[in-house]
């Protein structure tokens, strides 16, 4: 009896080990699949860019030696970056622009989904080469990393349809509850506004912007504050339950984040942004997303 019990125990252990091994193998498969779409979209490392004449020399850029430009991104910010519904393929204006940049540099582009509040520290610990995540250039951020400008985007306040609070500007948010995403420029703008409010506003922060919008939709807050294109799309897709007000059409540039010491990478990225502007690819991408107004001046 003792031995047969031991035998059964071993059998169970073995089955458990097998199941976990299978699960691990399945995970590995998924990883491989994740990488293929990006690989298909961009040409292989050694090919020359389509408009070969003014090819950018990337031989002195250590981050691109492996032929891959990896980008950290909080992929929950449609239409800037998001996963195509029902897939794990990233899409959006950021994704298209970085793919075009990768093409101009002759490297593959790989997106890595990262929470926005930890996106700068993760760049500093070399989780990826750049940040491509609708990141507005601010003095606080440029103290930590360098940013290469590529878009020019304003802010928008999202309110329930009919605008019951009659919110026309940021000052009208005083005394109300506003839902925003953690770590965004909107949190800073609201804190600045709060300093001038007689009645303080309550700022509720969430890990992702869709959760903040959900909080507005279910009445937990009176407004959501986000980048204009994002708030615009959220209003459009809300079946008329949400409405967009544009209190401060004060566009500020988005930048591709690089580590302070990545000076060569920063230079070739700036060259590549210029190259896709010159070739017309940049304008084509913006037109495709209906975001012509966000072009850099």
Partner 1 sequence: MDWLLAVRFDFDTVGDFLFDPIILRAMRETLTIAVLAMALGIGLGVVLAVMRVSHNPVAVVFAGLYVWFWRATPVVLQLLIMYFGMRQLIEDDLFRDNWTRFRAAVITFALNEAAYMAEIVRGGIQSVEAGQMDAAKSLGMTNLQALRHVILPQAFRVMIPPTGNEFIAMLKNTSVAFAIGVVELLNAAKIQSARSFKVMELYTVAAFWYLVMVSIFSLLQAELERALTVSERDRPETLLSRAMGLVAGRRGL
Residues that bind partner 1 (CB under 8 A): 117-118, 120-121, 124-125, 140-141, 144, 179, 182-183, 187-188, 191, 204-207, 211, 214-215, 217-220
- CA dihedral for 161, 163, 168, 169, sign (positive or negative): negative
CA dihedral defined by 282, 284, 287, 289, rounded to 10 degrees?
Answer: -80
The residue among 214 and 246 lying less far from partner 1, judged by its C-beta, is 214
The residue among 43 and 118 lying less far from partner 1, judged by its C-beta, is 118
Q: How far is the CB of 26 from partner 1 (least distance, A)?
A: 20
Are the CB atoms for 90 and 34 separated by under 8 Å? no
Q: How far is the CB of 241 from partner 1 (least distance, A)?
A: 11
**Which residue is listed with tokens 């699960």?**
23
The residue among 45 and 210 lying less far from partner 1, judged by its C-beta, is 210
Q: Structure tokens of 245? A: 């007000």
Question: For every residue of 78-137, which 3-state class applies, written as one string?
Answer: CCCEEECCCCCCEECHHHHHHHHHHHHHCCEEEEEECCHHHHHHHHHCCCCCEECCCCEC
Q: From CA 182, how far away is CA 185, in angstroms rounded?
A: 9
The residue among 204 and 295 lying less far from partner 1, judged by its C-beta, is 204
Q: How far is the CB of 161 from partner 1 (least distance, A)?
A: 14
Q: How far is the CB of 31 from partner 1 (least distance, A)?
A: 23
Nearest-CA neighbor of 182 among 159, 200, 209, 201?
209
Backbone phi and psi for residue 103, each to the nearest 5 degrees, phi listed first: -65, -45
Q: How far is the CB of 216 from partner 1 (least distance, A)?
A: 11
The per-residue b/e assignment along 240-267, b for 16 or more CB within 10 angstroms, e otherwise, is: eebbbbebeeebbbbbbbbbeebebbbe
Q: How far is the CB of 213 from partner 1 (least distance, A)?
A: 11
Q: How far is the CB of 214 from partner 1 (least distance, A)?
A: 5
What angle in degrees, to the nearest 10, is found between the helix axes of 281-288 and 263-279?
80
Q: From CA 53, how far away is CA 179, in angstroms rounded?
A: 49
The residue among 164 and 249 lying less far from partner 1, judged by its C-beta, is 164
Q: How far is the CB of 16 from partner 1 (least distance, A)?
A: 20
Q: From CA 178, how far away is CA 160, in angstroms rounded?
A: 12
The residue among 127 and 271 lying less far from partner 1, judged by its C-beta, is 127
The residue among 121 and 249 lying less far from partner 1, judged by its C-beta, is 121
The residue among 217 and 277 lying less far from partner 1, judged by its C-beta, is 217
């Amino acid at each position: 009896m003792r031995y047969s019990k031991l035998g059964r125990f071993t059998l169970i252990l073995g089955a458990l080990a097998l199941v976990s091994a299978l699960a691990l193998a399945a995970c590995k498969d998924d990883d491989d699949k994740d990488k293929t779409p990006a690989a298909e979209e961009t040409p292989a490392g050694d090919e020359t860019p389509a408009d070969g004449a003014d090819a950018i020399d990337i031989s002195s850029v250590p981050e691109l030696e492996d032929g891959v430009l990896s980008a950290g991104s909080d992929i929950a910010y449609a239409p800037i970056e998001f996963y195509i519904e029902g897939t794990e393929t990233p899409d959006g204006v950021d994704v298209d622009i970085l793919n075009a940049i990768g093409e101009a540099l002759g490297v593959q582009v790989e997106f890595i989904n990262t929470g926005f509040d930890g996106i700068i520290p993760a760049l500093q610990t070399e989780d990826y080469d750049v940040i491509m995540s609708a990141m507005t250039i601010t003095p606080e951020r440029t103290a930590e990393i360098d940013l290469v400008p590529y878009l020019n985007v304003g802010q928008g306040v999202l309110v329930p349809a009919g605008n019951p609070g009659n919110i026309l500007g940021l000052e009208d948010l005083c005394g109300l509850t506003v839902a925003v995403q953690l770590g965004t420029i909107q949190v800073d703008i609201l804190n600045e506004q709060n300093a001038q409010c007689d009645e303080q506003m309550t700022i509720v922060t969430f890990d992702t912007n869709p959760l903040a919008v959900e909080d507005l939709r279910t009445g937990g807050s009176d407004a959501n504050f986000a980048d204009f294109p994002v708030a615009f799309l959220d209003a459009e897709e809300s079946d008329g339950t949400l409405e967009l007000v544009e209190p401060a059409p004060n566009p500020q540039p988005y930048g591709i984040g690089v580590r302070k010491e990545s000076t060569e990478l920063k230079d070739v990225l700036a060259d590549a942004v210029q190259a896709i502007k010159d070739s017309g690819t940049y304008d084509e991408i913006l037109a495709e997303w209906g975001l012509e107004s966000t072009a850099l001046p």
